[in-house]
Chains A and B, each alone.
Chain A
Amino acid sequence: MSNRRSRQSSSAPRISDDQMIDLVTKLRQILPEIGQRRRSDKVSASKVLQETCNYIRNLNREVDNLSERLSQLLESVDEDSPEAAVIRSLLM
């Protein structure tokens, strides 16, 4: 399997279909929306990939928002307090 991967890879479109199916299935399990709503055989790989990209972007945005909120919280908290330490740890 790994040999096949290494041979086929390097941006060549000859990836094994089974591999794609497995990975797409895995991705669909994670994606909160389309992967779980639709029937399994209906979703195309490109759609799944697109959903993945969008989802990652959303997650990144969420992380940024949360970081901002946490930093704001940090400002409201006394320095050297345990809470501040906790918040700092969360932010890192």
Chain B
Amino acid sequence: MHHFVPDFDTDDDYVNTNNNNSSLNHLPRKSITTMGEDDDDLMELLWQNGQVVVQNQRLHNNNTKKPSSSSFPTKLLQPPIPPSMDNHQQQQQPSSDQNLFIQEDEMTSWLHYPLRDDDFCSDLLFSAAPTPPCATSHVVTAVRPPVPVPSSSNESRPPVRNFMNFSRLRGDFSNGRGESGPKTIVRESTQVSPSATPSSAAASESGLTRRTDGTDSSAGLNRKGKAVAMTAPAIEITGTSSSVVSKSEIEPEKTNFDDKKRKEREATTEEAECRSEETKQARGSTTSTKRSRAAEVHNLSERKRRDRINERMKALQELIPRCNKSDKASMLDEAIEYMKSLQLQIQVMSMGCGMMPMMYPGMQQYMPHMAMRMGMNQPLPPPSFMPFPNMLAAQRPLPTQTQMGGSTPQYPVHASDPSRVFVPNQQYDPTSGQPQYPGYMDPYQQFRGLHPTQPPQFQNQATSYPSSSRVSSTKESDDQGNHKTG
């Protein structure tokens, strides 16, 4: 059973060039998984004597590409060694152990391979220049299929380095579970990444590491917070951090545009923290150190919170159209207005959608009725918040300019054009006497200052919420021109 299908497409080149075993070249790609007992087609990756030996009892008839790629290291390690096929048949006995081994989670079983022997990796890395990256990429991609292999091959050195560190780390736990593996990988990969990323400052690296250690749970990784951001840059840079990437996938957008800034901020903040902590400890006084450390912790958490808020604000700013405000407060104001306008628009449109099919019959009687209801009782029936007259009034293409006094038209606001009130002809006549009609034309007018449940007012008040004033204004608003003031 193939638990994962890594994309070993790029292996083909290497397979063809390096693999002296021509038969392996024909093997199509298949998962590296080796549930030997299940499938005839499966290969078994066995760790034999410090080498990955692809035990393939059925290799000849089999078409697993994986064996070919996995046999790379074998070949690299022992060039004179005959194709792994020969080894496979020879080493059947340990296969049982290996099978057990392999039956674990793919990640673990895969990870175990570099565990045994660092030389394996080193040989991998240095024996053949083109192959190690490919092999490592294969290996890594086996763990994390979505990682684009070309990207890893592009940066040959960092992935190789990452792999090296992987091997060193994995040596710690001989029977490490898959779950703990990723965590350790994460932690270590962030340590690795600094070395891989020439741009990272030393302090930032230590800070990154420290931060990751502080949040060293997979849950922490999944948080929309520093951990992901911390590891994400490392991942992006190295390109082959397998498990971390799988977790950071959750936060793709955040990491993409926020991690850079966050990294820089973190770098600077971490440097300052390192220095300050060092100085405090140098004093030798425990209480002051404790206090300062507590203060540092508090500052850290405060900074984290601030960063989170800033990140959300940026996201919000991107959502709001035509938002050119750098000021947070005004931006939030705009966000509020925009939300209200959207709510209004949706209400209008949904009502229109619902009413449209019914407009054919008896429309004339319908709308005046609605209009009158609108005018008379301020607490409107909820569904007909925006009554028909609004739709009728908006028959003309509405200019986007608004007569609102102070507020700038930022959204496609229908201007409360007094003349527009009477443009809707026959339908309007029965209701022309209604003072509220002009107000209905502008669905966006209301968001300026109205509570959503209030009836629309042609008279636009920028941020006036109280309904009483509006009620009075509508009553006296026979000449709409005067009441366009904001």
Does B329 lie within 8 Å of A56, measured CB to CB?
no
Q: With contacts A13-B306, A86-B395, A89-B394 known, is A59 near B356, CB below 8 A? A: no
Which residue of chain A lies nearest to B327 when distances are taken between CB atoms in the complex? A9
Does B312 lie within 8 Å of A83, measured CB to CB?
no
* B309, B333, B343, most chain A CB atoms within 10 A: B309
Would you call A49 an interface residue if the criterion is a C-beta within 8 Å of the partner chain's C-beta atoms? yes
Q: Which of B311-362 contact A (CB under 8 A)?
A: 312-313, 315-316, 319-320, 326-330, 332-333, 335-336, 338-340, 342-343, 345-346, 348-350, 352-353, 356-357, 359-360
Contact among B316, B327, B357, B398 for A53, CB-based, below 8 A = B316
Q: Total interface residues on A, using CB and 8 Å?
A: 41
Q: With contacts A23-B329, A55-B339, A73-B356 known, is A63 near B312, CB below 8 A? A: no
Which residue of chain A lies nearest to B348 when distances are taken between CB atoms in the complex? A90
Does B346 lie within 8 Å of A50, measured CB to CB?
no
Contact among B327, B342, B397 for A92, CB-based, below 8 A = B397
Q: Which of B275-334 contact A (CB under 8 A)?
A: 305-310, 312-313, 315-316, 319-320, 326-330, 332-333
Q: How many A-B residue pairs have CB under 8 A?
A: 127
Would you call B203 an interface residue if the criterion is a C-beta within 8 Å of the partner chain's C-beta atoms? no
Contact among B326, B336, B339 for A11, CB-based, below 8 A = B326
Return chain A residues, CB-CB under 8 Å to B306.
Answer: 13
Task: Return the CB mask of A4-36 against B: 1 if under 8 Å, else 0.
Answer: 011001110101000110010011001000000
Q: With contacts A46-B308, A86-B356 known, is A56 near B332, CB below 8 A? A: no
Does A82 lie within 8 Å of B352, measured CB to CB?
no
Does B329 lie within 8 Å of A70, measured CB to CB?
no
* In the bound complex, CA of A77 to CA of B353 (Å): 12
Q: Total interface residues on B, using CB and 8 Å?
A: 47
Return chain B residues, CB-CB under 8 Å to A13.
Answer: 306-307, 309-310
Would you call A43 an interface residue if the criterion is a C-beta within 8 Å of the partner chain's C-beta atoms? no
Does B326 lie within 8 Å of A92, measured CB to CB?
no
Which residue of chain B lies nearest to A11 when distances are taken between CB atoms in the complex? B326
Q: Which of B108-167 contact A (CB under 8 A)?
A: none
Return chain A residues, CB-CB under 8 Å to B427.
Answer: 82
Which residue of chain B lies nearest to A15 when distances are taken between CB atoms in the complex? B328
Return chain A residues, CB-CB under 8 Å to B312.
Answer: 46, 49-50, 52-53
* In the bound complex, CA of A45 to CA of B396 (Å): 42
Would you call B412 an interface residue if the criterion is a C-beta within 8 Å of the partner chain's C-beta atoms? yes
Return chain A residues, CB-CB under 8 Å to B348.
Answer: 90
Return chain B residues, CB-CB under 8 Å to A44.
Answer: 305
Q: With contacts A30-B336, A45-B309 known, is A89 near B396, CB below 8 A? A: yes
Task: Return the CB mask of B430-466 against A: 1 if under 8 Å, else 0.
Answer: 0000000000000000000000000000000000000
Would you call A40 an interface residue if the criterion is a C-beta within 8 Å of the partner chain's C-beta atoms? no
Does B329 lie within 8 Å of A5, measured CB to CB?
yes
* In the bound complex, CA of A77 to CA of B356 (Å): 9
Return chain A residues, CB-CB under 8 Å to B353.
Answer: 66, 69-70, 73
Return chain B residues, CB-CB under 8 Å to A15.
Answer: 328-329
* In the bound complex, CA of A79 to CA of B465 (Å): 40
Does B339 lie within 8 Å of A52, measured CB to CB?
yes
Pull 25 A–B residue pairs with CB atoms less than 8 Å apart, ordered by A. A6-B327, A13-B307, A20-B309, A23-B332, A23-B336, A30-B343, A46-B305, A49-B309, A52-B316, A53-B315, A56-B316, A56-B338, A66-B353, A70-B352, A70-B353, A77-B356, A82-B359, A82-B363, A83-B356, A83-B360, A87-B352, A89-B396, A90-B348, A90-B349, A90-B391
Leading 7 A-B pairs by shortest Cβ distance: A49-B312, A89-B394, A9-B327, A59-B342, A66-B349, A23-B332, A86-B391
Contacts from A to B (Cβ < 8 Å):
5-6, 9-11, 13, 15, 19-20, 23, 26-27, 30, 44-46, 49-50, 52-53, 55-57, 59-60, 62-63, 66-67, 69-70, 73, 77, 82-83, 85-87, 89-90, 92
